[in-house]
Amino acid sequence: MQKILVARPIFPDVIERLKQYFDVDWNQGDVLPADELTRRIADKDGALTAGDPIGAAVLAAAPRLRVVSNMAVGYNNFDMAAFNASNVLGTNTPDVLNESTADFGWALMMAAARRIAESEHWLRAGQWQKWTYDGFLGSDLHGSTLGVIGMGRIGQALARRAKGFNMQVIYHNRSRVAPEIEADLNAQYVSKQDLLRRADHVVLVLPYTKENHHTIGAAELAMMKPTATLTNIARGGIVDDAALVEALRSKTIAAAGLDVFEGEPDLNPDLLSVPNIVLTPHIASATEATRRAMANLAADNLIAALGEGPRAGQPPNPINPEVIGKARS
């Protein structure tokens, strides 16, 4: 029986599915340190991860490893050059989290715009003594301009929700989407600079790559309106968190919402010292239905990639399909 490592705690019923096909080594505790991950993956044919870094050293230590299934859409935790050089398949879990993540992005954007977290902290601290006309004035979403950077599936789901708020939608993407999609979303393609200058609410939904590192830094924040908000539901590193702290302190922009951070779960401690920001611990896809769908899709990818189940040899979501069928090198 082939051996697999499940590197993170996941739903026990998904583990039972995997046990029908594999000898399963399941980590039910904390995130595995790098040396422990390397040790436990060494004799495995496959692995299921959730953001665990998998690079050349890990792959070299696991000569039998043929596939690593990531329970996430993003896979910047994978060194894909090393995967390709070793003929190891990587897979991910797109689509099943689009709508839940878009819902959460909208919630985070609204919370930042309407100062919900800031006012709740103030109330809990016992400071609410009376109603005032200027208490916690925020900014409207209805009738405003939404700027989406990264118009993939989640970006499009966000833009669809803007219709109900009568918002103008502008977007920037690596490439322009099809005209019929623009028409359906009533969205206008603009340069990044134009988007930052015009948008009342900027939402980031682009993948993390070396090229996208610090897509939003001090210069970009300075382009934004002083009344604007910034929401990041993409990946840490796309925003220069230190520059964002300074922009919030100086009121260069009005507010921000972050679900992802540079170096998470560690984060810049200065983020905790600014009141005009909403912080959540990478939970944009965290509904039970969505996380179950992600776990089962990750399992489907692993089962099929290792030649088992009804889709044997045809995993649903290969990242580097060109290595399928090639011998491990």
* Rg (alpha carbons) of the chain, rounded to whole number: 22
Do residues 182 and 159 touch, judged by C-beta distance below 8 A? no
Q: Which residues pair with 149 in a beta bridge?
A: 172, 204
Please state, in angstroms and as integers, the Cα–Cα distance from residue 232 to each residue in 109, 165, 169, 229, 272, following that order.
9, 20, 17, 10, 16
Q: Which of 116, 51, 85, 62 is nearest to 255 (CA)?
A: 116
Distance between CA 231 and CA 145 in Å, rounded?
Answer: 14
Q: Which of 41, 74, 75 is nearest to 59 (CA)?
A: 41
Q: Which residues pair with 263 in a beta bridge?
A: none
At position 185, the amino acid (one-letter code) is L
Residues noted as catalytic:
235, 264, 282
Distance between CA 6 and CA 147 in Å, rounded?
Answer: 38
Please state, in angstroms and as integers, the Cα–Cα distance from residue 303 to each residue in 15, 91, 292, following that order.
12, 11, 16
Q: Which of 79, 95, 75 is nearest to 235 (CA)?
A: 75
Q: Which of 35, 51, 37 is nearest to 5 (CA)?
A: 37
Concatenate the DSSP letters of all residues of 1-67 into one string. Answer: --EEEE-S---HHHHHHHHTTSEEEE--SSPPPHHHHHHHHTT-SEEEESS--B-HHHHHT-TT--E
